[in-house]
Chain A
Amino acid sequence: MIRQSVLISNKLGLHARAAAKLVRLASRFSSEIHLSREDANQQIDSKSILGVLMLAASKGTRLVISIEGQDELEAVEAICGLFENKFGEES
């Protein structure tokens, strides 16, 4: 089980396009990958777009990622990478 905090730093936040990228990426791993807002308890399934959008995470929101499963190391690296490079939206 890995827990990692990430900051949303792209301008539009976790809007539809970014959320779609995140869901598609997360779905590639067999691990269970959950997300929650740092300021709230509710955990959502990062492989569900309706869950991810429900976070209503705008720029500056801190999220906690919890990953558990065989490929959790690869998963955490890939997902943090996606947040860090701002979903490839701003170069």
Chain B
Amino acid sequence: MASKPEIVLNGSGVSAGVVLGQALKLDSHNRLVLKIRVDDIEAEADRYHRAVEAAKEQMQNLKSRLEEMVGSEHSIILDAHLLILEDRTLNAEILAIIRKSHANAEWAVMQATDRLVHAYQSLDDEYFRERHSDIEQVAERILLNLSGDHPLSWEHLPDDLIIASIDFNPSNFATMDLQKVRGLVLESGGRTSHTAIISRGLRLPAVMGIRDLLASVSTGDALLLDGDEGQVIVNPTKQRIESMRQRMEAFGSTAESTVAPSSWKTTTKDGTAVSLRANTEVPSELGTAKACGAEGIGLFRSEFLYFSHPNGFPGMEEQFAAYRTLAKGMNPHPVAVRTLDAGSEKVWDKTDLAGRENPSMGLRGIRLSLQSKDVFCTQIEAILRASCEGRIEIVLPMISSIEEIWQAKALIAQVREKILKKPGLNLKPVPLGAMIEVPAAVLSLEALAREVDFLCVGTNDLIQYTLAVDRGNPDVAYLFQPLHPAVLQCLHRIAEIAGKLDKPVRICGEISSNPFFAVLLLGMGFTQLSMNPLSIPQIRRVLREVPLKACRQIAGQVLTSSTAYEVHKYLTETVSKLIGWDLGSYANEIAPPPK
């Protein structure tokens, strides 16, 4: 076979490194659709039929629901979709592809519908041209039903893949076997996209914003990806590969960390272990958390379960299902569920919080829970019952006095007793933690800490209450300064007391995803940081470059400063020198307002 011509494509290099690999194209829904040879074509045809039948049933249900809601006049589009599912020409074509080329049903569906979509896209009339989206939606539904019983396995794929796609959803990192992926090339995206940020964190070379990428690349093509120059060479010549070899090897020798992040341990340069965990809001973020190598869910904000519920109060079973998913999925790592923290900026229409003048100082967090005991106990029951499925923990929000912990503990004990009365149910011990986010809790920390198993610091609220600054108020938002000496003194005090009492303590605010702040926290003595899962790979890389001793020196120096400006200047300069790569925008993130 004659070798294919070399094509040079330009885009923007968003993650450095030079790698050679073979292209694996994802479709427009980020799905990996590969042609797989099937031996039993009749079984495959059957699988296709089952998927279509399932899709029909779903469409029919959707249609009836819609008709009940708005009348049959509006269900016409679903009617058309149903007819597409039944379309005998389309079905015959798909089955012919399966039988003739021994292809998997997914591939056959994509082939047949792609052809139709292109045919429709070339129509002159706008209305009829737009019907291509109906075909895509139907294909999507069939593929969804196919994937249910036959998830595509990465097992048989080669280990030098370069993913080529239009765009790439960050959560896809979770579904890929990262040990087999060497790089990422996309038509869309740029330096500041989430995907670019993670790629850099994972040290996965990436080029984005490449026009006509998918038109020029087929799955299996050799790709030479140059993340430094923002170039992708399709089917590179031997000479080209030779000319890049030195740079490839240079990258390869430093790239041992591009392998599966879940196997990484986070340690400082001098070997101190640091636990990086994920803050999440919905159970579906679990995959992202795992892909980014989170050693647990440090904070599950359970509010979402309530806000997304039709009447605002998810039942015990519903919550149990969510917590169980988390506990099981994260096992053996722990999952900390923060009990309902409604209030403040989060308007929950079941309470009158929104009507009060100062909601962030009003009935919220544990205060609300202790007044709506039924709601609280339902949640506790769901959490306790999920304890058998993994390692689950409870965190109480907005604690400002020891009595609140006592009352909550009494309620938890009651619920536990009630569950244990039922035969056949088993419970594991569930550690209890308190959110430290109110200055009163910082000041009375010794007493509070003795009552709980661990502490979580909610930095956002702590900053807001310590500085008496409402972040949502544009007149004073500039005063919200994470590096304010008062905030740093609070954090220092928390670290000291927790250390003295030997209580595990975890920073659960987004501030820990700032590399400069993370170094500072480490220096103060915090070795558990919980953050947006997407930030974990980056923070892991940063911490590996800094010795704990240096972090301590930095923290010691910073704690003697009297202004946020001083702190900012010293912190960003010193840390930048230590790590040796540019962390530009992160310095602005924690910068005090201009003088």
Contacts and interface: CB of A to CB of B under 8 A. Distances in A.
Given A48-B89, A50-B89, A56 B83 contact: no
Interface string B117-158: 001100111011001001100000000000000000000000
B131 A16 contact: yes
Contacts of B88: 45, 47-48
Interface stretch (A3-11, A17-25, A65-73): A17-25
Interface string A8-38: 0000000111011001100000000000000
Contact of B90 (A17, A48, A56): A48
Nearest to A45: B89
Secondary structure dominating the interface of B: helix
B128 A56 contact: yes
A49 interface: yes
A49 B125 contact: no
20 contacts: A15-B127, A15-B128, A16-B76, A17-B80, A19-B80, A20-B83, A24-B83, A45-B88, A47-B88, A48-B88, A49-B80, A49-B87, A50-B84, A50-B87, A50-B135, A51-B87, A53-B120, A54-B120, A56-B124, A56-B128
B513 to A, nearest CB: 48
Contact of B83 (A15, A23, A54, A58): A23
A44 B128 CA distance: 15
Contacts of B76: 16-17, 20
Contact of A53 (B77, B79, B124, B128): B128
Interface in B70-126: 76-77, 79-80, 83-84, 87-90, 116, 119-120, 123-125
A15 B126 CA distance: 11
A58 B80 CA distance: 18
A53 B131 contact: yes
A72 B76 CA distance: 28
Range, interface on chain A: 10 to 19
A24 B79 CA distance: 11
Contacts of B77: 16
B503 to A, nearest CB: 64
A51 B131 CA distance: 12
Contacts of B120: 53-54
A72 B123 CA distance: 31
Nearest to A53: B131
A49 B90 CA distance: 10
Contacts of B134: 16
A65 B77 CA distance: 25
Range, interface on chain B: 20 to 34
A15 B129 CA distance: 11
Contacts of B135: 50
Contacts of A53: 120, 128, 131
B214 to A, nearest CB: 24
Nearest to B131: A53
The interface centre, meaning the residue of A15, A45, A48, A51 with most chain B CB atoms within 10 A of its CB, is A48
Contact of B116 (A50, A56, A58): A50
B125 A58 contact: yes
Q: Which 10 A-B pairs rank lowest in CB-CB distance, beginning with the nearest?
A: A56-B128, A49-B83, A48-B89, A16-B80, A56-B125, A17-B76, A56-B123, A48-B87, A50-B87, A53-B131
Contacts of A19: 80
A23 B89 CA distance: 12
A46 B478 CA distance: 67
A51 B125 contact: no
Given A16-B76, A45-B88, A50-B135, 6 more contacts: A15-B128, A16-B80, A17-B80, A20-B80, A49-B83, A56-B125
A50 B90 contact: yes
A51 B83 contact: no
Nearest to A18: B76
A53 B135 CA distance: 11
Contact of A20 (B79, B125, B127): B79
Nearest to B125: A56
Contacts of A48: 87-90
The interface centre, meaning the residue of A15, A23, A53, A56 with most chain B CB atoms within 10 A of its CB, is A53
Given A16-B131, A56-B123, A58-B125, A51 B89 contact: yes
Nearest to A21: B79
Nearest to A23: B83
Nearest to B135: A50
A54 B123 CA distance: 8
Contacts of A51: 87, 89
B150 to A, nearest CB: 26
Contacts of A24: 83
Contacts of B125: 56, 58
Interface in A46-91: 47-51, 53-54, 56, 58
Interface string B428-460: 000000000000000000000000000000000
Contacts of A56: 123-125, 128
A54 B119 contact: yes
Nearest to B90: A50
Nearest to A15: B127
Contacts of A45: 88-89
A45 B123 CA distance: 18
Contacts of A20: 76, 79-80, 83
A45 B91 CA distance: 13
A71 B99 CA distance: 33
Contacts of B84: 49-50
B38 to A, nearest CB: 25
Nearest to B85: A49
A51 B79 CA distance: 16
A19 B76 CA distance: 11
A82 to B, nearest CB: 16
A40 B84 CA distance: 24
The interface centre, meaning the residue of B77, B83, B134, B135 with most chain A CB atoms within 10 A of its CB, is B83
Contacts of A49: 80, 83-84, 87
A50 B134 CA distance: 10
Contacts of A47: 88
